[in-house]
């Protein structure tokens, strides 16, 4: 079981509040800069596509966002197990759902909250909004109203309508069940299945499993009043009655005797160890109640070592997570312009998920989860961050939709479709996920040098509570406590370790070490005392040098060049020592490394070759296949300039070294990054757009990074210090809490 992450109410609110309230924004996908642009975007140019759509409604999929737009609709009557808190209170959840659509399947989604509990009003509102969207995702609407609403909308709308609370859970449950029964050596038509929880998710699970071959009377549904049996009248409705079984069992305990499968979408503690002990050999237990399962895997396997257990939680193996289903179901349905998402498409999704879990797991996925993943009792369902999901599940869904006749635009070139799906993947998210998972595995003692800065303290708390390791704060106890209390994190004081140079027993050792390094560089004993005892950057570096921490993050309060100079009192991290600064720029699903952004002021051609090699090491640590471009204002010798000469010579040095990565230069940035511009130079050795840009000087690197950050809104991580003797990362003075945490994670991963 992985380490659990903790967060406070203040942290959750801060996440949703800054830098802007909410979790998404609308960005124009067309130029809007000139009068000509505006004339095309609105009047009079817009009249042309308007007429085209009036003549042929299907043209809306060609000229508008309809074909890649989903409405996430709720009235807040069943919020995440919190109950009926109203439409407005559900907005954070629905915004979260919208960004999950975008993150995992590149589907645009907008949350729409309907302030009514009247099913007819909801049905009418959604129906009237139909022309806007390519699909509708219903969410957190209580039963039985959710059944009425979904059924009617499916009847009257010609786009997919999908209640994820029902069918999302059902699809992932079915995928896991396929593999669990395979491992147990059982067939679904022979299994006795007990389901506890007769709400939306439970009923949908049973319906889908029956459509896959489970027999009606082999499936026993239970609710709070016990077994739903034929003839029962108390607490019944038409949806429960459809699943009433012929059985003598009247309680969950009785139903569990000899059962092969238990499916739980009910409440914590609903299943006892005694119930599990009474089940058949090799029982399958899906305890999916959230946040706490009906029975924990430890409790179940204590009495039945042969049990295969899944839950809804990420800190146990076999997580039944809806994000494995709904983004990809809609991706496949939208791409064939489907009229509906039918059972065949859901079953295709489940089978594709089950099949993916049986394939070899890529190293980067295993690395992201910090453990070996292979098909077996603890891995029956793929993990949510598996990059293969985007190009495995939608094609299966699309094929099922085409086969069953709901596709209005069948896909002719399926291989081309798979390639287009791969192009939709956002590598940055998976890279960051991998790095954070590796940091959790490393469990480094992280030295945060600037304990008097609120951002640093909040990042240190996030590091500790995020399960990455121990946070060591350089500062004064009273000052740290006061600042944490001011930030609403007073309870974190006892979790962190505060280290004060004024009372550490190691100060004498630190000063002796520092004096030995600096005595022939103009520093006397008093200078060394001031550095070791009063300068937090030097003190933190001395802690690291003596093994009193595993990694160091600093620089949030002073200029990076100044901080690097102080660190060089303790370590050899200068240009001549092989140190390099590499900054990762993340923007619109792309990641580009720019070097050198920290150490080399005006590198020679040999330095540039060294910088490229060091940047390649960073890229590989991040999971990138490196392609290096030496960039300049000239391309392959034109225009001629002595200022660009070294950018021509650096690749020749790499030629002589026989390095094992792609590189080319010199070239302008557009040739390095834009395939159309690169196509004019077919002799280029790069097989794709560069992801490492080696620039002529530190000032040009800094300008490039800050321009992307300020003008394009790019996410910037770094500069990442590579080539230092110990894991040290230096933040910028403008770093946010998230930036500082990311740099600590980089240091923890020992990206050196």
Question: Which of the residues are catalytic?
Answer: 42, 97
Report how far apart, in Å, the C-alpha atoms of 270 and of each of 78, 82, 253, 295, 642 are. 20, 18, 10, 7, 77
Residues 271/294, Cβ–Cβ less than 8 Å: yes
HEC-encoded secondary structure of 116-156: CCCHHHHHHHHHHHHHHCCEEEECCCCCCHHHHHHHHHHHH
Cα angle for residues 593, 596, 598 (degrees, 5° grid): 115
From CA 526, how far away is CA 225, in angstroms rounded? 79
- What are the backbone angles phi and psi of residue 551, rounded to the nearest 5°? -160, 165
Question: Distance (Å, rounded) from C-alpha 60 to C-alpha 54?
Answer: 9
Segment (H or E) for 309? strand 308-311
Biggest distance spanned by C-alpha atoms of the chain:
95
Write the DSSP assignment of 64-85 as a string of letters. SGGGGEEEEEE-SSSBTTTB--
Task: Note the helical H segments in 164-251.
Answer: 164-184, 200-211, 238-241
CA–CA gap between residue 676 and residue 690 (Å, rounded): 13
In angstroms, the CA 595 to CA 692 distance is 8
**H helices of 487-557, where?**
507-518, 525-534, 536-545
Secondary structure (3-state) at 503 = coil
How far is residue 122's CA from residue 148's CA, in Å, rounded to a whole number? 10
State the DSSP H helix or E strand holding residue 681, giving kind and residue range, or none if neither.
Answer: none
Helix ranges (DSSP H) in 494-604 = 507-518, 525-534, 536-545, 560-567
Separation of alpha carbons 236 and 181, rounded Å: 31
Which residues share a beta bridge with 109?
A: 70
DSSP state, residue 638: B
CA dihedral 86, 91, 93, 98 (to 10 degrees): 140
Question: Which residues are 631's β-sheet partners?
Answer: 667
Residue at token pair 């990042």: 459
Strand (E) or helix (H) holding 696: none
Gap between the Cα atoms of 205 and 289, Å rounded: 13
Distance CA 266, CA 271 (A): 10
User: Distance between terminal CA atoms of the chain?
Assistant: 29
586: phi then psi, degrees, rounded to nearest 5: -110, 120
Separation between Cα atoms, residue 69 and residue 136, nearest integer Å: 9
Distances (CA, A) of 409 to 67, 256, 413: 11, 47, 12
Whether the Cβ atoms of residue 380 and residue 184 lie closer than 8 Å to each other: no
Q: Quick one: which H or E segment has residue 447?
A: strand 446-448
Element spanning 473, H or E: strand 471-474
CA–CA separation, 313 and 289 (whole Å): 9
User: Are residues 417 and 398 in contact, defined by beta-carbon separation less than 8 angstroms?
Assistant: yes
Quote the Cα angle for 256-259-265, to 5°: 65
Residue closest to 414 by CA, chosen among 397, 428, 431: 397
Is residue 564 a contact partner of residue 599, using CB atoms and an 8 Å limit?
yes
């Amino acid at each position: 079981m992985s380490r659990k992450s903790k967060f406070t109410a203040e942290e959750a609110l801060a996440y949703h509040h800054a830098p802007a309230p909410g979790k998404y924004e609308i960005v124009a996908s067309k130029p809007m800069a000139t009068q000509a642009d505006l004339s095309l975007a609105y009047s009079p140019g817009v009249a042309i596509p308007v007429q085209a759509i009036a003549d042929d409604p299907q043209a809306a999929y060609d000229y508008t966002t309809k074909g890649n737009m989903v409405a996430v609709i709720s009235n807040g009557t069943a919020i995440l197990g919190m109950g009926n808190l109203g439409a407005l209170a559900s907005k954070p959840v629905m915004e979260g759902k919208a960004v999950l659509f975008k993150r995992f399947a590149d589907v645009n989604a907008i949350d729409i909250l309907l302030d009514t509990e009247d099913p007819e009003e909801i049905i009418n509102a959604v129906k009237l909004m139909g022309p806007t969207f390519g699909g509708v995702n219903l969410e957190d609407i209580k039963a039985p109203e959710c059944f009425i609403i979904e059924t009617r909308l499916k009847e009257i709308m010609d786009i997919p309508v999908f209640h994820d609370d029902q069918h999302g859970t059902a699809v992932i449950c079915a995928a896991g069940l396929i593999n669990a029964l395979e491992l147990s050596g059982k067939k679904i038509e022979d299994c006795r299945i007990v389901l506890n929880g007769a709400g939306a998710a439970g009923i949908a699970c049973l319906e889908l499993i029956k459509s896959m071959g489970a027999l009606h009377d082999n499936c026993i549904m239970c609710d709070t009043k016990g077994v739903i049996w034929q003839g029962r009248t108390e607490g019944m409705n038409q949806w429960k009655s459809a699943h009433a079984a012929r059985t003598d069992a009247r309680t969950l305990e009785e139903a569990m005797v000899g059962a092969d499968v238990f499916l739980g979408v009910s409440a914590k503690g609903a299943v006892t160890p005694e119930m599990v002990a009474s089940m058949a050999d090799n029982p399958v237990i899906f305890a999916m109640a959230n946040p706490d399962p009906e029975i924990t895997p430890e409790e179940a396997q204590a009495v039945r070592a042969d049990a295969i257990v899944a839950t809804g939680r990420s800190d146990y193996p076999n997580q039944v997570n809806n994000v494995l289903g709904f983004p990809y179901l809609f991706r496949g349905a939208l791409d064939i312009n489907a009229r509906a998402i039918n059972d065949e498409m859901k079953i295709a999704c489940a089978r594709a998920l089950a099949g993916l879990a049986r394939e070899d797991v890529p190293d980067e996925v295993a690395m992201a989860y910090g453990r070996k993943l292979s098909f077996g009792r603890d891995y029956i369902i793929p993990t949510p961050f598996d990059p293969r999901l985007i190009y495995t599940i939608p094609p299966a869904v699309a094929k099922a939709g085409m086969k069953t006749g709901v596709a209005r635009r069948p896909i002719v070139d399926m291989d081309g479709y798979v390639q287009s799906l791969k192009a939709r993947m956002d590598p940055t998210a998976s890279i960051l996920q991998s790095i954070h998972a590796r940091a959790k595995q490393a469990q480094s003692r992280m030295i945060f040098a600037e304990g008097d800065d609120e951002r640093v303290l909040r990042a240190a708390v996030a590091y500790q509570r995020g399960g990455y390791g121990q946070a060591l704060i350089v500062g004064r106890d009273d000052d740290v406590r006061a600042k944490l209390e001011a930030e609403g994190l007073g309870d974190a004081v006892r979790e962190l370790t505060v280290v004060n140079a004024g009372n550490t027993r190691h100060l004498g050792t630190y000063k002796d070490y520092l004096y030995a390094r600096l005595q022939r560089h103009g520093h006397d004993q008093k200078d060394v005392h001031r550095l070791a005892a009063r300068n937090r950057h030097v003190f933190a570096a001395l802690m690291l040098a003596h093994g009193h921490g595993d990694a160091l993050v600093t620089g949030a309060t002073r200029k990076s060049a100044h901080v690097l100079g102080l660190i060089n009192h303790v370590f050899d991290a200068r240009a001549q020592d092989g140190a390099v600064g590499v900054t990762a720029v993340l923007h619109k699903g792309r990641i580009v490394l720019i070097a050198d952004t920290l150490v080399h002021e005006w590198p020679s051609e040999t330095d540039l070759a060294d910088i490229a090699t060091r940047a390649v090491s960073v890229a590989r640590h991040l999971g990138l296949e490196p392609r290096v471009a030496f960039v300049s204002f000239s391309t392959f010798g034109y225009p001629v300039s002595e200022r660009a000469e070294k950018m021509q010579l650096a690749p020749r040095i790499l030629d002589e070294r026989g390095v094992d990565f792609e590189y080319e230069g010199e070239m302008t940035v557009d040739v390095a990054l834009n395939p159309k511009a690169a196509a004019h130079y077919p002799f280029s050795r790069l097989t794709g757009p560069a992801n490492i840009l080696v620039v002529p000087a530190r000032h040009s690197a800094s300008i490039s990074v800050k321009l992307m950050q300020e003008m394009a809104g790019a996410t910037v991580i770094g500069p990442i210090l590579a080539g230092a003797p110990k894991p040290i990362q230096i933040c910028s003075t403008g770093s946010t809490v998230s930036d500082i945490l990311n740099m600590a994670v980089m240091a923890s991963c020992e990206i050196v």
